[in-house]
Amino acid sequence: MSQDLVVIGGGPGGYVAALRAAQLGARVALVEADRLGGVCLNVGCIPTKALLASAEVYHTVARAAEFGVRCGAPELDWPAMQARKEQVVAKMVGGVRMLLERAGVTVLPGRARFLAADRVAISGPAGEQVLSAARFIIATGSSPLRLPIPGVDMPGVLDSTGALSLESLPESLLVVGGGAVGLEFATLFATLGARVTVVEMLPRLAPLMDRDVGEALRTALAVQRVKVYVNTRIEAIEAGERGLVARLQGPQGELAVESEKVLLAAGRRPNVEGLGIEAAGVAFDRKGIRVDDRMATGVAGIYAIGDVVGGSMLAHVAMHQGVVAAENALGHEARMRYNAVPSCIFTRPEAASVGLTEEAAREQGYDVRVGRFPFNGNGKAVAQGEIEGFVKVVAEARYGAVLGLHIVGPHASDLILEGALGLTLETTLDEIVATIHAHPTLGEAVAEASLAALGRALHLPK
């Protein structure tokens, strides 16, 4: 069988690459070893957000009296939450399948292995077949890291996939990793009543975000009775009387933390094993497949995208890379830019960041001005009872060019898009404040933070 282009992997980056290539008139085959949608749709972004949505409803009902609504205490139904999650996943995956079918993409179940730079062998339910193409896009994703410590294979030690499919809610949970995945699971299970502890080996939570974001998230988690240890590493996991005991080492010395379950959320590794990319001459290292800003590997006609290339392991980055790779593979010109990639953490409150942190901007030699505005001064936030957090804008001092936007607060994951667009268009503070923001909206806080950076704050006391 011969195709114009073969995409290996049907996750967010892979299926988007296949759709874009089909739009451009190519005959496209997509090879998927497991389920369309990849980790994100099946055991990542989407199912976690579905469960977090259920947890948020539970939390809202529990505080209904604050809004003048009297009702009985909410009752948890974890199996029903799980069932809803599966319905959401099935709907999304079905949507991807429909889009591929309508676009004329041939979906081949199985595992692909390069035989040469222009051929792959596909091992699937129908046996093995060889597929030839002039162009390939590798989009095989990543897998959770397994920490090299004693006890990681014990029953009750979970990765994110295992945590999503628990048959019952744990009474207690130790989360190893204070990044997005770990903090979202900590929020989920703490909201549903579990005793949660988070361990992060770096000096703060959300270490890739602005320092103020990490500190605000730690405060928010403390309100939710989540215990946090930073600058702390896990040395071993052992059996305990009521589950598992994690041996920790940090500034406080040696600690033993007992919990029913342990969730390992400390990074991911690119999926390159079994691909046979050596046969195609594609270069890779422990960080992933090496590519340039066109997503080209250095072997003519072979591109790679998404988690398998390392870097920002985010679904929206993979999707954009998929478009770039497909366009370049089919004779167009496109390049990746990473200066305006938003990152979001779906905690309570949410956190989001785009562009340079204040610390990074200063390290890069910028003379910066910073503006902050708290949500407790925002009309809509007060009205809906979500006043935790702030908006922080980082800008170049002389001309006011926006360098970064950082948000902790309600709907931060949506509000951050103003910053992403602003960075893409090289927006200034003056341009943000000249844009009329509807009232009352949460987005007004972005304009207020920008006014504060200009020294013209209207709704902050002097």
Rounded distance between C-alpha atoms, residue 441 and residue 103, angstroms: 39
Rounded to an integer, the average pLDDT of 182-199 is: 99
User: What percentage of residues in the chain have a pLDDT greater than 70?
Assistant: 100
**What would be the CATH architecture of the domain defined by 157-266?**
3-Layer(bba) Sandwich (3.50)
Q: If one looks up domain 349-453 in CATH, what number appears?
A: 3.30.390.30
> What's the mean pLDDT when you consider all of the chain?
97
Asked whether residue 261 carries a pLDDT value surpassing 80, the answer given is: yes
Residue that is written with structure tokens 């702030």 in the block: 390
Of 320, 406, 411, 439, which is the active-site residue? 439
Region 423-444: mean pLDDT is 98
Report residue 146's pLDDT band, with 50, 70 and 90 as the boundaries.
Answer: confident
Mean pLDDT on 111-133: 95
Residue 416 has pLDDT above 80, yes or no: yes
Instruction: Compute CA distances 460 → 382, 444, 449, 456, whole Å.
Output: 15, 13, 10, 9
CATH number assigned to the domain covering 2-144+269-329: 3.50.50.60
Q: Where in the chain is the domain with CATH 3.30.390.30?
A: 349-453
Q: Is the pLDDT of residue 1 over 80?
A: no
- Strand segments, DSSP code E, in 125-282 are 127-138, 142-144, 157-158, 172-176, 195-199, 227-229, 233-240, 243-250, 253-259, 261-264, 268-270
If you write DSSP's letter for every residue of 26-71 in order, what string do you get? Answer: --EEEEESS-TTHHHHHHSHHHHHHHHHHHHHHHHHHTGGGGT---
Nearest Cα residue to 432 out of 407, 410, 454: 454
Contact in structure between 350 and 344 (CB atoms under 8 Å) = yes
Among residues 321, 313, 312, 329, which one has the least CA distance to residue 293? 321
Domain with CATH 3.50.50.60 in the chain: 2-144+269-329, 157-266
Q: pTM for this one?
A: 0.96
Which pLDDT does position 462 carry in this prediction?
82
Q: How far apart are CA 453 and CA 429, in angstroms?
A: 8
Structural tokens at position 95: 């949507």
- Cα–Cα distances (Å) from 377 to 113, 434, 435, 444, 451, in that order, read 57, 20, 20, 10, 14
411 is an active site residue: no
Statement: residue 155 has pLDDT above 90 = yes
